[in-house]
Amino acid sequence: MTHLRTRAVHAGQQPDPTTGAIATPITQTTAFGYGTLERGAALFAGEVPGYRYSRFANPTVAALEAKLADLEGAQTAVAFASGTAATASLVLGLLRPGDELVFLGPLYGGTEGLLRNLGERWGIRVVDATATGLEASLTPATRMVWVETLTNPTLRLHDLADVAAMARARGITTVADNTFCTPCLVRPLECGIDLVMHSMTKYLGGHGDATGGIVAGADALVAPVRKTGLGQVGGNLAPQEAFLFLRGIKTLPLRMAAHCEGALAVARFLQQHPAVRVVHYPGLESHPQHALAQRQMQGGFGGMVAFELQRCERSAVAAVLNRLALFTQAVSLGDTDSLACHPASTTHSFVSQQARDAAGVTEGLVRLSVGIEHPDDLVADLAQALDGWAP
């Protein structure tokens, strides 16, 4: 199985040994009988493999973890009830008071808010290195560097190989949030990044019907994240949700190709429209990091497009967004259905005005998650919304 499309279907899954069921069964149980006291004791001592309790591990969830580990080229993975639970577990499982976490932004507003909140409460210094550059922000206390493979919402990139090399030389653990790209477009571990995380709620699930997160990497780094996040915080993914992600990932490469095709068409249309001031899409020649995107992304430039209108007050943006018919106004992304949102008042309303300004999250910024509908229909919807509005 060398091709991602094949691995997306088969990795982590095989027909059920007792019934032959091809779809991985939903193992809906809290505990697993261990037979004898001696075997129970051996299981809890970690001396024999096996399931004990679904907060620690569950077969449906384990199949999903194996599939995602395979797609990201990781030794192992651990699934969580949300991307946010994955983020919190990474910090709580790997950092301690006195440590520093450096991030290159912008980040999803909820991630930045969570990192800062945990940092403040638990004595971890959280440093935004976006303006200064990574090298200038690293100190002997830095233990973790955090990046998004495509930033939410302005679609900037970081050179992952550079980030990884700089951190690795100092023994610092790197984390890449690969939610926007998925392993179809970017595989951070191949660039030298230590841990990859996802909000599976987005492209991995793909149908807007399940919330989940995952962390993948080497056993030694994932084990403490699993122990803290599942065993102690109890942020485990439910087996029914794991089933939905297993099913969703089977079509991930096909869906990503459609998202990329639609997003490029939408970005090109917006770029030539007189009401639009700027379009952020890494597949456009005008994107300031187009060359890096060509080098770092494989098979497409993703399904997210952001743009600013010529007039940037909130009422002007509302006039356009409220006219959209095919795009649903909602947060989240990566669904089959196209979505449109205004980050300043939604996804990034959690962070300070100063952080929003620094990240380019202006009042006039619109974020589109381009679904898998026909690109012509999506462009027509945007055209009617923009044409009916005088800049």
Query: Residue 315 contacts by C-beta under 8 Å, 6 or more apart in sequence?
Result: none
With 0-12 CB in 10 A as exposed, 13-18 as middle and 19+ as buried, what is 273? middle
Q: Of 215 and 279, which CB lies nearer to ligand 7XF in the complex structure?
A: 215
Of residues 58, 60, 82, 130, which one binds ligand 7XF by CB under 6 A? Answer: 82
Separation CA 191–CA 188 (nearest Å):
5
Q: Of 29 and 362, which CB lies nearer to ligand 7XF in the complex structure?
A: 362
Answer yes or no whether residue 347 interacts with ligand 7XF by CB under 6 A. Answer: yes
* Given 5, 7, 52, 55, the catalytic residue: 55
Radius of gyration over every alpha carbon of the chain, rounded to an integer in angstroms: 21
Q: Of 322 and 329, which CB lies nearer to ligand 7XF in the complex structure?
A: 329
145-204 residues near ligand 7XF, rule: CB under 6 A: 148, 152, 177, 179, 199, 201
| Size, binding site for ligand 7XF by CB under 6 A | 18
Separation CA 208–CA 335 (nearest Å):
5
220-259 residues near ligand 7XF, rule: CB under 6 A: none
* Given 202, 250, 255, 356, the catalytic residue: 202
User: To 5 degrees, how large is the angle CA 118–CA 346–CA 152?
Assistant: 70
Answer yes or no whether residue 137 interacts with ligand 7XF by CB under 6 A. Answer: no
Query: Residue 33 contacts by C-beta under 8 Å, 6 or more apart in sequence?
Result: none
With beta carbons less than 8 A apart as the criterion, state whether 213 and 82 touch.
yes
Of residues 29, 332, 336, 384, which one binds ligand 7XF by CB under 6 A? Answer: 332
Separation CA 49–CA 38 (nearest Å):
14
Q: Interacting stretch for ligand 7XF, rule CB under 6 A, among 77-85, 91-99, 288-296, 376-384?
A: 77-85
Separation CA 41–CA 193 (nearest Å):
37
Answer yes or no whether residue 91 interacts with ligand 7XF by CB under 6 A. Answer: no
Instruction: For residue 177, indicate whether it is catalytic.
Output: yes
Catalytic residues: 55, 108, 177, 202
Interface residues with ligand 7XF (CB under 6 A) are 82-84, 108, 110-111, 148, 152, 177, 179, 199, 201, 211, 213, 331-333, 347
